[in-house]
Amino acid sequence: MRIVIAEDLLLLREGMVRLLTETGHTVVAAVDNADDLVTAVASHRPDLSVVDVRLPPGFRDEGLRAALRIRAADPEARVLIVSQYVERAYAADLLADGRGGVGYLLKDRVTALDDFLDAVERVAAGGTAMDPEVVRQLFNRGGGLETLTPREREVLGLMAQGMSNAAIGAALVLAPVSVEKHIGNIFAKLQLPPAEDAHRRVRAVLAYLNG
């Protein structure tokens, strides 16, 4: 996999380069600001960009805005955002187009190597990957999802993390048919009409983030 990294902290940037290289990926560019990120993506057309939310010069949301620009220019672009803090609006902005191929991880998760590499693979394949802590905090906010049963909320939370039906079944000790039934109920209760399944899952997660 060909990857672009945008991270202003030198040690973290070099750490990600080393990790990804050692696991068989190719880092085609590693930059420390949003403008260079946009240039690198346009030049290299990577399979995935790993982007810090806060980049120079303002250290606010330059990385996120650059990622949204990249996605607007190329609907197939895959972006994994990393952040120091949970920001619901950032996650919702990434998912707003309903296409998938996006992820939102806290920086602490980058050091959990298996979780980080799983998110890299999942987002590059067109899925979603939400940090479990992001999911936990958002559920604690409540609102908007009162019609879902506790089990359906559990299933939706795992969908938000980007888990497949099989992985959800394993995590909750549910048969495949039970997982499918819960997901069908979620789609119905959130009033998501029939569409490509991957897009419906993203839209369900977006509804959850905006709940």
| Per-residue pLDDT, 210 | 60
User: pTM for the whole thing?
Assistant: 0.74
User: pLDDT band at residue 138, thresholds of 50, 70 and 90?
Assistant: low
- Give the 3-state secondary structure of the chain: CEEEEECCCHHHHHHHHHHHHHCCCEEEEEECCHHHHHHHHHHHCCCEEEEECCCCCCCCCHHHHHHHHHHHHCCCCCEEEEECCCCHHHHHHHHCCCCCCEEEEEHHHHCCHHHHHHHHHHHHCCCEEECHHHHHHHHHHCCCCCCCCHHHHHHHHHHHHCCCHHHHHHHHCCCHHHHHHHHHHHHHHCCCCCCCHHHHHHHHHHHHHCC
> Are 65 and 52 contacting, i.e. CB atoms less than 8 angstroms apart?
no
pLDDT per residue as tens digits for the range 49-87: 999 999 988 888 899 999 999 998 998 899 999 988 877
Please tell me the distance from the alpha carbon of residue 8 to that of residue 67, in angstroms, as a whole number: 15
- Characterise 3 by phi-psi region: left (phi > 0), alpha (psi -120 to 50), beta (else): beta
Sheet with 26-31: strands ordered across:
26-31, 2-6, 48-52, 79-83, 102-106, 128-130
| Per-residue pLDDT, 44 | 97
| Per-residue pLDDT, 107 | 87
Please tell me the distance from the alpha carbon of residue 77 to that of residue 54, in angstroms, as a whole number: 20
Q: What domains appear along the chain, each with residue ranges and CATH number?
A: 2-131 (3.40.50.2300), 142-209 (1.10.10.10)
Please tell me the distance from the alpha carbon of residue 80 to that of residue 129, in angstroms, as a whole number: 8
pLDDT over 60 at 48, yes or no: yes
pLDDT per residue as tens digits for the range 87-130: 767 766 777 666 778 888 888 888 888 889 989 998 999 888 88
